[in-house]
A and B are shown apart, each in its own frame.
Chain A
Amino acid sequence: MEDKSILVAELLEASRIHTRIHDDPEVAYLVVLRNEVIGLKAVPGIEVVPREETDGVDIHFTVQEGVQISKPVYLCFGMLSAEGKQHIKLNVSIQKNARVNIFAHCTFPNSGGIVHRMDADIEIQEHARYSYYERHIHGPDGGIEVVPRAKVILNEGAYFKTEFELLRGRVGLIDIDYDCRCRAHSVLEMLARISGRGDDTIKIRESGHLDGEYARGVLTTKIAIRDKATAEVYNTLTASAPYARGHVDCKEIVQDQARAKAVPIIEVRNSKAHITHEAALGSVDTKQLQTLMSRGLSEDEGVELIIKGLLS
């Protein structure tokens, strides 16, 4: 068995968060290598209770009432091997008036036959704020299935923001399914930015239900695919209370033989609610590209810059 500190260092280095964690004693973190907790540090106001299981870890994460965590909290889930399965069960409770920003680094730099699954139950209590930035690093050839599932409850005045981003490597298969219920005056923001190529498959199913008065929600998806990659996006936003407001936005740039599909579903069940949606799928916008080409960029350079902007 390798020394745990070496494994921690390797995984954090691969996640590029090594110095951020070790240089700051006020930063809380949890590092999970497959089904083993190899690093854990809490700070006052945060409870992290992990339980190792056969193929993953069951984690209870609580931010206590009124506690506002100023520094980001780092969760690092990963595997350094090429093959294997990791199942993360995450039970999150952000208590009243608490606030926390989580950076979840899911790191599989050598992926060749990896399955990474997450099942999360998240409750954000009254006037609490929870931001979850999920950053993925995969191997250069894909060989990975990423299946995050979450059920989220936003109580009155709560705020939930989530961003999913693939920083490096190939997608493989990404299959996201988030479902959020939003009570009065709560705010939901979900954003996914993914670039796929080869035979990558991207599936996104995000739902927000604006059940309370003045609840607000925005579901944003930005995807660029090329080669024979496919992307399917099913975004659903419903509003059933007065003054609920929402927007669904899906942009997908498609190149080569890639295929994109977007199915926005918006439903309003209250005459004082309002939801809009916007979707654009297909080639790079001609005017954008021609403007860049008129400055001397080649077509490929122009496309690359436009995609960089879209995914930034």
Chain B
Amino acid sequence: MGMEILQLKDVSLTLNENLILRNITLDIWQGYVHAVSGPNGAGKSTLASTIMGLEGYRDISGSILFNGENIDGLAVDERARRGITMAWQEPARYEGLLVKDFLLASSRSKDLALIRDTVSSLGMNPDTYLGRALDKTLSGGERKKIELASILVNEARLVLLDEPDSGIDVESLERIFEAIGLLKKRGTTVILITHSLAVLQQADHAFLMCHGEILDKGKKDKIIRYFENKCIPCGHKNIPDEWEPVRGR
């Protein structure tokens, strides 16, 4: 399908003596929108945190290659400088920090005009928002869009978006999807972490994850079918009782 920008080889992660990621092997192709989907507790966000190298998520077995380079053990900022960034499901709040300063810090070009255009493209008036603090006076949805703006101006090569529709209203959701489209148009590789069909529809390619494992992969329509049937039978506790604990693919 294309060149791999990110490869996970047999990656496992244990947190608090619980095996959270189990021998994950996957390839992420450059310039495509990928989705990692699955039920709550599947390990999707943990996978994103592991790829980003967040504190507490770096002590893995297996290896992670970005652009062919092994990035195991690299800190978050070192991975970011190589071109990986991430948007959290619930963005951080910063007391007193202005949206403008946050976006300038996130921006690779430090171009204020570009920042203003980006904020506008997400349906927000830059004159209103750039001077506001990125704190609890902004709604969750507003902070989500500001964080997405920070991703857009960061100009990373690989973007992890954890539940990008979380806390977002219907109108704003269209803007988020447009932003994902813009990232793809720029040639940015995107990994969507989601359990939402609407978000999954934005992907070119998807992985189905459950209980810390990748159960299947393929074009999004294939993975969507699992969701239309609620999921696939397996032994994980998320599966309704009446289903047989048999893993079928």
Chain A residues engaging chain B, CB cutoff 8 angstroms: 222, 251, 285-288, 290-299, 301-302, 305-306, 308-312
Contacts and interface: CB of A to CB of B under 8 A. Distances in A.
A296 B101 contact: no
Most buried by B among A222, A251, A295: A295
Interface string B74-99: 01110111001110100111111110
B52 interface: yes
B154 A287 contact: no
A224 to B, nearest CB: 11
Contacts of A251: 95
A284 to B, nearest CB: 10
Q: Which of the four size classes fits the interface of chain B?
A: 20 to 34
B96 A293 contact: no
A101 B81 CA distance: 47
Given A294-B80, A306-B97, 11 more contacts: A287-B88, A287-B92, A290-B55, A295-B154, A296-B77, A296-B81, A296-B85, A305-B97, A308-B97, A309-B94, A312-B96
B234 interface: no
A285 B92 contact: yes
17 contacts: A222-B95, A222-B96, A286-B55, A287-B88, A291-B91, A292-B105, A294-B77, A296-B106, A296-B108, A297-B77, A299-B75, A299-B77, A305-B101, A306-B94, A308-B101, A309-B94, A312-B96
A295 B95 contact: no
B45 interface: no
Contacts of A296: 77, 80-81, 85, 106, 108, 154
B71 interface: no
Contacts of B80: 293-297
Nearest to B151: A295
B150 interface: yes
Dominant secondary structure of chain A at its interface with chain B: helix
Nearest to A312: B96
Interface string B29-65: 0000000000000000000000010110000000000
A174 B81 CA distance: 41
B96 A311 contact: yes
Interface of B: 52, 54-55, 75-77, 79-81, 84-86, 88, 91-98, 101-102, 105-106, 108, 133-134, 147, 150, 154
Nearest to A296: B80
A290 B54 contact: yes
Nearest to B150: A295
A183 B95 CA distance: 31
List the 8 closest A-B pairs by CB distance, nearest first: A309-B97, A309-B96, A295-B106, A293-B77, A293-B76, A296-B80, A287-B92, A288-B92
B180 to A, nearest CB: 18
Contacts of B106: 292, 295-296
A101 B245 CA distance: 72
B58 to A, nearest CB: 12
B186 to A, nearest CB: 17
Most buried by A among B86, B93, B97, B106: B97
Contacts of B96: 222, 308-312
B233 to A, nearest CB: 36
A153 B76 CA distance: 52
A288 B94 contact: yes
A294 B92 contact: no
B85 A309 contact: no
A293 B150 CA distance: 12
A229 B80 CA distance: 33
Contacts of A306: 94, 97
A227 to B, nearest CB: 22
A310 B93 CA distance: 11
Given A290-B76, A305-B105, A295 B85 contact: yes
A173 to B, nearest CB: 25
Contacts of A308: 96-97, 101
Contacts of B75: 293, 299
A10 B147 CA distance: 46
B95 A310 contact: yes
Contacts of A295: 80, 85, 105-106, 150, 154
